[in-house]
Amino acid sequence: METLGELSLAVDDVVVYASHGVGRVSIRREQSVVVEFANSGLTVILPIERAIACVRPLSTEAEITSLGQTLGGADPNAHTNWQSRLKATKAKVSGGEAVDLAEVIRDVSRREERAFARGEPGRLSATERQLYVKARQLLADEIGASRGVGPAEADEWIADRIAANADQERLPQARGLIRSSGQFEAMAEPSGHRARRRRH
């Protein structure tokens, strides 16, 4: 049986597939694997070669600890051109790697904190908000699945990491600024697209 590291791609394995997030292997055939995503109701059929290249195991506890350090860090791209930043953000969310999602969450959080400190909250574009919400949802789902807790509790952990290790120059009153992705969901404009069942 072909494997990807510790991932056997066996039936009932919990896996992560790019921007689809956490799923479960429901069928394993010689040449393909079927992954179901409970949150979206989506089912994806992947050739084994693509599954080995694109599907990964859940983050380990050690990796989650490292993600916490990333979430609490500074935004290294604070002065990057917004077009370049948006392109990089889209690629990170699309790829679905846990560390990339944590970087997106961190960077958007830091930008919001700086805007808040200047008295200019709400300066994110609708696209940036949507990418932030998507990244935070994906990461919370993965952390929750890995630790055996609900997404809400995992999201609270993300918020705590952002707040606990924030930039030194941020204002104290900004500590509770981004407690939950819910406030961004309220601001994000709906895309009008719903996930459809499809085959890859």
- What phi, psi does 126 have (nearest 5°)? -60, -40
What distance separates the 2 farthest-apart alpha carbons in the chain? Answer: 58
Residue 69 to residue 118: CA distance in whole angstroms: 26
The per-residue pLDDT for 165 is 62
Query: If you search the block for the tokens 């990461």, which residue do you land on?
Result: 139
pLDDT in tens, 120-157: 766 778 899 999 999 999 999 999 999 999 999 999 99
pTM above 0.85, yes or no: no
Do residues 195 and 42 lie in contact, with contact meaning Cβ atoms separated by under 8 Å?
A: yes
Q: Which domains does the chain have, with CATH numbers?
A: 14-57 (2.40.10), 61-187 (1.20.58.1290)
Split at pLDDT 50, 70, 90, the class of 13 is very high
116 versus 20: the higher-pLDDT residue is 20
* Burial of 46: CB neighbours in 10 Å, binned 0-12, 13-18, 19+: buried
Stretch 74-100: mean pLDDT: 88
> For residues 139, 141, 145 and 147, what is the CA-based torsion angle, rounded to 10 degrees?
60
Neighbours of 48 (CB within 10 A): 17
pLDDT in tens, 54-75: 999 999 999 999 999 999 998 7
